[in-house]
Structure 1
Amino acid sequence: MNSGTLVGSLIFAAVLVVVIAVLIQLMMRGWRRRAWRQTELIGDLPDVPDKVGTASITTRGLYCGCTMAPAWNERVTAGDLGYRSKAVLTRYPEGILLERVRAKPIWVPRESITAIRMERGMAGKVVARVGILAIRWRLPSGPEIDIGFRANNRDEYDAWLKEDGADG
């Protein structure tokens, strides 16, 4: 390789690195702006109650994130709601508790739940067959969001859907 080709290759590589860095910076800025706009809309999430009844269902899996209902692809980025993590989803008579790894737990009061259903995809997470449990609930501030949860054992979804039917 002669020196002219080497210099041209180095300049091209440097320009490519700068372009990639600018694109990453723009993506991060967009994520932060969306989080800032959604923080006011979402408000404070309900606190986990001090005492709850006996758990009726407990499922381990992956928290896929939250989306603004009914737009399954509009991810909620406020707080730590936009980050996927391993999680445990537990149903109590008073509501649903989602305990996430390295994130605050999410408490969904029973009276706030509007639907529990199956979905093929949610916020960039697509499963070939029906595989995401979507829990739609109304926030104290008014809007509805969907929580996406992919269980390690998909056979446990039936119990969640039956339990929702019993609640009305």
Structure 2
Amino acid sequence: MRALLTLILVGLLVLTLLAMLRGWRYRARRQSAVMPGFFAPPDTLTADLLPPLRGVYVGTVHAGDWHDRIAVGDIGYRAEATVRLTAEGLLVERVGASPLWIPAQTVRGARAARGLAGKAMGIKGVFVVTWALDENWLLDSGFRGDDRSVYPEWEAALQSIAPAPTPDHEGNSAR
């Protein structure tokens, strides 16, 4: 009887894992059908504006929805990473995954947050960059740095390279 219950439990676990994998693949197919491609990093970059920040790339989500993870390609996978900030933009060099390039003109803001992509990491534990893939895709990419004390410097530097807000049709400043 015990062996039968164990087999049933293992079978349920396998079915659950397969359903999760199928859901992830469906999300990736659905997003890739409507989402533009990610930016390719330039061949050469100017000097870093700040010392590189090492840590963990947490993921990328739709801006404002810290649970709606982007699953296209390998962007949805966590990875050890180093973040570099230059005048041209932000380069996230991920170990075992493709780099993520965020051009300076697409940056819309930066902040320290409690979590991202379904991962809560303490008060101001994740450094989040809000950026526009195009006019329809506003994204948040998160990074947990080994040294979180530098987040204010990074936030200020990213705000300085971000394009100035453009006035909307009523004269209000909007990003």
TM-score by length of 2: 0.87
1:52 alignment partner in structure 2? 45
1:77 alignment partner, one of 64, 71, 76: 71
Partners of 2:114 and 2:131 in 1: CA distance: 19
User: How many Å separate the matches in 2 of 1:151 and 1:49?
Assistant: 24
Alignment of 1:134-149 (within 5 A): 134-140=128-134, 142-149=136-143
How far does residue 141 in structure 1 lie from its aligned partner after superposition? 6.9
Aligned partner of 1:13 in structure 2 is 6
- The equivalent residue for 1:161 is 155
Aligned residues: 161
Aligned residue in 1 for 2:119: 125
- The answer to whether the 8 Å contact 1:112/1:138 transfers is yes
Cα separation, 1, equivalents of 2:41 and 2:59: 19
What is the CA-CA distance between 1:159 and the residue it aligns to?
A: 1.1
Residue type of the partner of 1:25?
A: L
Q: Do structure 1's residue 90 and structure 2's residue 84 form an aligned pair?
A: yes
Q: 2:48 & 2:136 partners in 1: Cα distance?
A: 27
Deviation digits for residues 59-107 of structure 1 (CA, Å, limit 9, x no counterpart): 1110001111121111111100111010011110011101000111111
Shift of 1:41: 2.8
1:28 counterpart letter in structure 2: L
Q: CA RMSD in A?
A: 1.3
**d(CA) in 1 for partners of 2:132, 2:160:** 19
Task: Compute the displacement of 1:164 (Å).
Answer: 2.6
8 Å contact 1:45–1:140 — kept in the other structure?
no
Cα distance in 2 between the residues matched to 1:148 and 1:103: 15
Is 1:37 matched up with 2:30?
A: yes
Q: Is the 8 A contact 1:61 1:87 kept in 2?
A: yes
Secondary structure, in 3 states, of the residue corresponding to 2:98?
A: coil
- Paired residue secondary structure (2:144): strand
Percent of residue pairs bearing the same amino acid type? 32
Residue 133 of structure 1 aligns to which amino acid in structure 2? F
Q: Is the 8 A contact 1:41 1:141 kept in 2?
A: no
Task: Report runs of 4+ in structure 1 exceeding 2 Å deviation.
Answer: 40-43, 164-168
- Could you state the TM-score of these two structures normalised by the residue count of structure 1? 0.91
Which structure: greater helix fraction? 1
What CA distance in whole angstroms lies between the structure 1 residues aligned with 2:120 and 2:75? Answer: 18
Task: Select which of 95, 107, 130 maps to 1:113.
Answer: 107
Q: Provide structure 2 residue ranges, at least 5 long, that are not aligned to the other structure.
A: 165-175
Gaps of 5+ in 1: 1-7
CA distance in structure 1 between the partners assigned to 2:71 and 2:135 by the alignment: 16
The higher-RCO structure (CA 8 Å, 6+ apart) is 1
